[in-house]
């Protein structure tokens, strides 16, 4: 069964800081992993849309957790894509693919001294278990086979290219460093070569 659009609906959005935007939210059938991923289309569509692959983070996106940078990245992506036109793919891959409960278990191990990747490994997981096959399917169905990608993660353009998506340009997101997440960001740079420039320690 090949991927196809299931339904599409207009949803007005408003973020906690007051930013608002209107998204056309599309659902799909036939995705490789069978999960309920969403594509949010913002702004006037262009030949090469700006795309963000955003993995679900309940703690950061909904509750405003300071342990990660997911919430601010989601908010940034919605505004930047609204300005240029493109898609925010909201992917149901909590905790780099290990799920919500296991992510919280990993937090407990981080409190005991492990970094975010070592904590995943201690729980029997890989550093990052996300697979972007479904994301590539979604983009293909939407006709977005050549995109600009908003990300600091080198694995995302690599995987999309593997699945036939042309990446014209990789555009970094802003850096949202705080005392609560700096160790997390440092681990992303060290282990998975995220393009994050962290402020020098004072």
Q: Quickly list DSSP for the chain.
A: ---EEEEEEEEEEE-TTS-EEEEEEEEEES-TT----EEEEESS--SS-EEEEEE--IIIIIT--SSSSHHHHHHHHHHHHHHH-EEEEEE--HHHHT-HHHHHHHHHHHHTT--HHHHHHHTT--S-----HHHHHHHHHHT--EEEEE-S-THHHHHHHHTT-EEEEEEPPPP---TTTHHHHHHHHHHH-----PPPP-
Of the residues 52, 80, 96, 130, only one is catalytic, namely: 130
pLDDT for position 202:
41
Residue 128 annotated as catalytic: yes
User: Which residue in 61, 69, 115, 128 is the catalytic one?
Assistant: 128
Q: Residue 178: its pLDDT value, please?
A: 67
**pLDDT block averages, 10 residues each, the chain of length 202:** 94 95 98 97 94 96 90 95 97 94 93 88 91 98 97 93 97 73 57 57 42
- Residue 68's pLDDT is 86
Q: What pLDDT, on the 0 to 100 scale, is given for residue 163?
A: 97
6 is catalytic: no
pTM, rounded to two decimals: 0.88
The whole-number pLDDT of residue 201 equals: 44
pLDDT of residue 186: 61
Return the pLDDT at 67: 86
């Amino acid at each position: 069964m090949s991927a196809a659009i299931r339904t599409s609906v207009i949803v007005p959005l408003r973020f906690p800081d007051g930013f608002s935007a209107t998204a056309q939210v599309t659902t799909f059938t036939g995705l490789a992993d069978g999960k309920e991923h969403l594509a949010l289309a913002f702004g006037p569509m262009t030949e090469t849309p700006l795309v963000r692959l955003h993995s679900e983070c309940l703690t950061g996106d909904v509750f405003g957790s300071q342990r990660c940078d997911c919430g601010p990245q989601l908010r940034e992506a919605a505004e930047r894509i609204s300005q240029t036109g493109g898609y925010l793919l909201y992917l149901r891959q909590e905790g780099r693919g290990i799920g919500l409960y296991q992510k919280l278990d990993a937090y407990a191990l981080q409190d005991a001294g492990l970094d975010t990747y070592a904590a995943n490994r201690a729980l029997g997981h890989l550093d990052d278990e996300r697979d972007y096959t479904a994301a590539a399917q979604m983009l293909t169905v939407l006709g977005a086979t050549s995109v600009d990608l908003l990300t600091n993660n080198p694995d995302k353009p690599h995987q999309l290219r593997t699945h036939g998506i042309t990446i014209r340009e990789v555009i970094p997101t802003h850096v949202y460093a705080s005392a609560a997440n700096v160790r997390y960001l440092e681990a992303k740079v060290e282990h998975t070569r995220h393009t994050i420039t962290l402020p020098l320690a004072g």
